[in-house]
Amino acid sequence: MMKFLGSKTLETDRLILRKIKIDDAKIAFNNWCNSDLVDKYVLWKKHPNVETTIKQYEKWIEEYNDEKTFRWIVELKDTHNLIGTIDVSNRFIKHGSCEIGYCYSDKSWNKGYATEALKAVIKYLFEECEAELVNAEFMENNPASGKVMEKAGMKFEGRLRSRVIDKNNIRNDLLCYSITKDEYFNSNN
Ligand SMILES: CC(C)(COP(=O)(O)OP(=O)(O)OC[C@H]1O[C@@H](n2cnc3c(N)ncnc32)[C@H](O)[C@@H]1OP(=O)(O)O)[C@@H](O)C(=O)NCCC(=O)NCCS
């Protein structure tokens, strides 16, 4: 049975993953929630104003009361700038299956941060929370996200055909990646 240990602070070489605070909303709005570039690759709409981000963050902070919530904001250790968020959907979490989602500021792309954070969350979910499986999905228009999943040790498991509509009104397949507990513990993590 998976252990629900919450969004404990996790540290990597360059990052701190910690619980969201309400004061983070303004920076999140400026850095990624209001970004046109980010908007291209996510299914939610970019936030039109900071109040939208504040409202979302109030709800997310409230959700920390539910033991099944895993959601971190990602902070750079050296500058303390905030660069994104990573979380686990609770859809199949009772089954020990953790579906990850993440989103980063375009100013911090291609520096390995998303991979570093994903690896830390995978490690925590398997080693401390005793998860059975970690999975994630990305839209076909977003190969960089697939790269992140691969670099974090996940394997391609299939394609959900024509599942979603992207911001250009084009239907996209969803590509699914995962790593099982056995794969994780048999690799050199
Ligand atoms: C996708 C995203 C998470 C990647 O974050 P990141 O911090 O840049 O990721 P990393 O630096 O760890 O790795 C990115 C990899 O993708 C590669 N990449 C970048 N653009 C690419 C493209 N157009 N095609 C293929 N690979 C690409 C990079 O070269 C890098 O791989 P490498 O290390 O082998 O060179 C980030 O761009 C993002 O948040 N996008 C908007 C929201 C989003 O897409 N969320 C995920 C939804 S599933």
* pLDDT tens-digit map of 146-159: 999 999 999 999 99
Alpha-carbon distance of 146 to 139, in angstroms, equals: 9
Per-10-residue mean pLDDT, the chain, length 189? 95 98 98 98 97 98 96 98 97 96 98 98 98 98 98 98 97 98 91
Q: In this structure, what token pair is assigned to residue 43?
A: 């299914």
Extract the tokens encoding 45: 């709409």
Report the nearest-CA residue for atom 26 of ligand 1: 144
Residue 36, Cβ neighbours under 10 Å: how many?
9
Alpha carbon of 28 to ligand 1 centroid (Å): 19
Ligand 1 binding pocket (C-beta < 6 A) is: 38, 41-42, 102-104, 109-115, 138, 142-145, 147-148
Look up the pTM and report it: 0.98
Per DSSP, helices labelled H in 29-157 are 36-39, 50-63, 113-127, 143-151
3 assigned to some structural domain: no
- Looking at residue 1, its pLDDT comes to 86
Q: What is the pLDDT of residue 141?
A: 96
Give domain status of residue 4, yes or no.
Answer: no
CATH number of 78's domain? 3.40.630.30
Give the residue, by CA position, lying nearest to ligand 1 atom 12: 112
Burial 120-142 (b: 16+ CB within 10 A, else e): bbbbbbbeebebbbbbbbbbbeb
pLDDT at 172: 97
> So what's the pLDDT on residue 104?
98
Report the separation in Å between the CA atom of 36 and the middle of ligand 1, taken as the mean of its atom positions: 16
Cβ count near 76 (within 10 Å): 15
Q: Does any domain span residue 145? A: yes
Cα–Cα distance between 138 and 46 in angstroms, integer? 18
By most ligand atoms within 8 Å of CB, the mutation choice from 36, 41, 110 for ligand 1 is 110
Structure confidence at residue 188 (pLDDT): 72
Q: Domain for residue 88, yes or no?
A: yes
Tally of domains in the chain: 1
- Going from the Cα of 140 to the center of ligand 1, the distance in angstroms, rounded, reads 13
Residue 69 lies in a domain: yes
Tokens representing residue 179 in the block? 């790593």
Q: Indicate whether 2 belongs to any domain.
A: no
Print the domain residue range for 123.
10-186
**5 lies in some domain:** no
